[in-house]
Amino acid sequence: MPRTTRARGRTARTNVAGSNRRLLVGRLLMVIALLLTGAKLVQVQGVQAGELSSEGEKQRITKDAIPAERGSIVDRNSNVLAFSSEARQLYANPRQLTEDFDEQHAKDPSKPTSAQYKQEVARFIATTLRGQITEHEVLDALFKDAAFTYFGPEIDPSQANVITEKYPHIGAEYRATREYPAGNLAANVIGAANWRMDERKVKGQIGLELAMNDVLGGRNGTKVSDTARGSNLVIPGTERELVAATPGSDVQLTLDSDLQHVVQREVSDYAVRAGAKSASAVVLDAKTGEVYALANDKTFDPRGPWVGNLGNPSVTTPYEPGSVNKVITAAGAIEHGIVKPDQVLQVPGSIKVADRTVGDAWKHGTIGLTFTGVMGKSSNVGTLMVAQQLGEQRWYDLAKAFGLGKPTGIGLPGESAGSLPAREDWSGSTFANLPIGQGLSMTVLQMAGMFQAIANDGVRVPPRIIEAEVQPDGTRVARPAPEPVRVVSPQTAHVVRDMLRSVVQDGPGSSDDGTGSDAAMPGYQVAGKTGTAQQIDPACRCYSQSKYWITFAGMVPADDPRFVVGLMLDAPSGARESKSAAPLFNTIATFLTQRYQIPLSKEPAPFQELQVR
């Protein structure tokens, strides 16, 4: 065979082999590509399917909360003290607005530029919301270099509809506003709430609005809306509800808003006349312990801005009560048969307890005071003489039964327990202070609760301020009454009430005048107790000789108690009103008898001899 023929054969075989190899490599590459594609499909359709579907869903729809309607707060007569209403907050996308209108203008010069459109919008909004926002303020918002901005005040939904229907590029977002129709009435009790953007609901921040947030707040629902491709603009008519919102329940209080108004006003005025740093008052139902009024001289406007006294000193700020605390010794002595009301005690001008010498508020030698006179004249010495016979442990046990040293459980935020020194912490001189109301502390609410026990035949009912919850369907769920505490027997309570009538007695001679005669009311028997307690002077960490807490706790009418009133003035000075809170009691009690048409006492309180000559 010629050499050329053999060479051609080898070349042909080489070409075939090369072609086969290329074909094999191509097929192998195709298989690899198919495997990679399959693996990617498995990853996309299997492993990442949920995640990608979710991302796609996010691009197609907007999920949003449906705000729950917050419940109202009403008084015992269903007068509304707090409620929620709808509002709208305007918003815009300035950057998107600029791009859209400038692009349209570039395609069609007859269309307005973004600047022209924004000026037109600003004029319309300022005109529609006349007095609420200026054209300049709208322009500032619309010309921001921002993807999103809120602007203007919260407005009425009807105003928002007018604006958004004419200019769809302006949005209006739901808001709920908290309304307080009576302004600062009972604000220290009710507190305040406002819209929380992060939670898409109104939420309590202070007072009962905060404490009852779970009851009032309800539970938000969920809705979804389709959004336009490439933007966050909702397509009108695509909104749909996934989970309905659950409205909050209404809360009914035991407060009487009319009485609260009067007490709040009178306490504030009296504090000014007395030159007091502060003043507080509590009115309780003598039988149930329900709080009809709870007021402080200083308050705030819950509609905002929240400035002033945002707390509630009537329940958060304890003080040394002074002689109102002598009711414990009186009740214990009668309960244990240690002394009788008309029993005459020879009371010296001072008494020594351990290393402490205690005198009365007025100088005197040894005088004869009935035990009723000890209360009526508020003798420290006479009280300590009887307290020593009662004994430290029995006195301590009775003080705890009266509710001292622990919160009442009323349910208001920040309630103080006050202080009652533990028995094991007493020194020899401790018992020189406690029976006369020094060395321990209580709130105005606790003080009123002590006298409620005496008014209620010896049974203390812990005070309450929440009457019921009214669910969205109208079902009324009453709060269970607190567990009552038997403090002393009915007979003891009756005797002590009679003794305390002497405090407001205006006798034929000064020796038979009670310390709270200004509390007396024509036609009604009144029982009560005055108190004056020295404050601590921070300079010497000793009792001040010029600054006092002035207190009064009383009941009306004494022969069949309906209401108990507790009062406290912090460091009053200068005026006649600074010497006693009895006149303030008279004013409040007079209104109580008129508003609730309390019958006159069947007979005047009998004259009681206080000092025996």
What residues are labeled active site? 323
Residue type, 320: E
User: Cα separations (Å) of 460 from 403, 421, 527, 576?
Assistant: 8, 21, 17, 34
Please, which residues bridge with residue 184 across strands? none
Pull the structure tokens for residue 220.
């938000």
Annotate 449-510 with three-state secondary structure.
Answer: HHHHHHHCCCEECCCECEEEEECCCCCEEECCCCCCEECCCHHHHHHHHHHHHHHHCCCCCH
| Count of CB atoms situated within 10 Å of the CB of 189 | 26
Instruction: Work out whether strand 485-486 and strand 476-478 pair parallel, antiparallel, or are unpaired.
Output: unpaired
Cis peptide preceding 472, ω within 30 of 0: no
Residues in the chain: 613
Q: How would you label 507-520 residue by residue, b for 16+ Cβ within 10 Å and e otherwise?
A: beeeebbbbbbbbb
Say how far apart CA 463 and CA 465 lie, in whole Å. Answer: 7
What is the distance between the alpha carbons of residues 80 and 250, in angstroms, rounded to a whole number? Answer: 10
CA distances from 101 to 230, 235, 389 (A): 16, 19, 93
> Which value, in Å, is the radius of gyration of the alpha carbons in the chain?
39
CA atoms within 13 A on the CB side of 533: 28
The answer to whether the beta carbons of residues 529 and 553 sit under 8 Å apart is yes
In the three-class reduction of DSSP (H, G, I as helix; E, B as strand; rest coil), residue 392 is classed as helix
Distance (Å, rounded) from C-alpha 542 to C-alpha 357? 15
The DSSP call for residue 605 is P
Residue type, 235: I
Measured distance CA(439)–CA(435) in Å, rounded? 9
Q: SS in 3 state form for 72-109?
A: CEECCCCCEEEEEEEEEEEEECHHHHHHHHHHHHHHCC
Q: CA angle, corner 351, sides to 390 and 550, nearest 5?
A: 80
Query: What letter represents residue 196's amino acid?
Result: R
For 406, other C-beta atoms within 10 Å of its C-beta total 13
Q: Which amino acid is at 269?
A: D
